[in-house]
Structure 1
Amino acid sequence: MANDQSPAVESLRREQKSQEQAERELTSDQKLERALKDTFPASDPVAQQVPITPGAAEEQK
């Protein structure tokens, strides 16, 4: 079976990679602003999500 993928799948993967890179480049304030926009209007308070990697060293503040 060939490893040829449809142009739609290739385009989707390129777009996802681009979005992931853009997300990594955001500052904490920009991430919080995005969280506010994504949850408005809502009755629950907004909290920035922080991904945690199991077994990773804790970040010092």
Structure 2
Amino acid sequence: MTTSTNPARESLRQEQQEQRKAAREAARKGPDAELDTALKATFPASDPVAAQAPTKSGAADGKAS
């Protein structure tokens, strides 16, 4: 019997190996490395990343209209 390798299986193995290597490198770089990678992967985005928390609109508490 001849054993041949399945190209799809080999491609999957290679992709998984690259993903594991990238995860190890990100873990070595620190906790913000994963966020930085995600931001780079989504650039350019239609909306910028919000650096501030949203605020509530309306009158302040205790004020009567």
Same-fold status (TM-score > 0.5): no
Structure with greater contact order relative to length (CA < 8 Å, sep ≥ 6): 1
Name the TM-score, length of structure 2 as normaliser: 0.42
Name the TM-score, length of structure 1 as normaliser: 0.44
Whichever of the two has the greater Rg, that structure is: 2
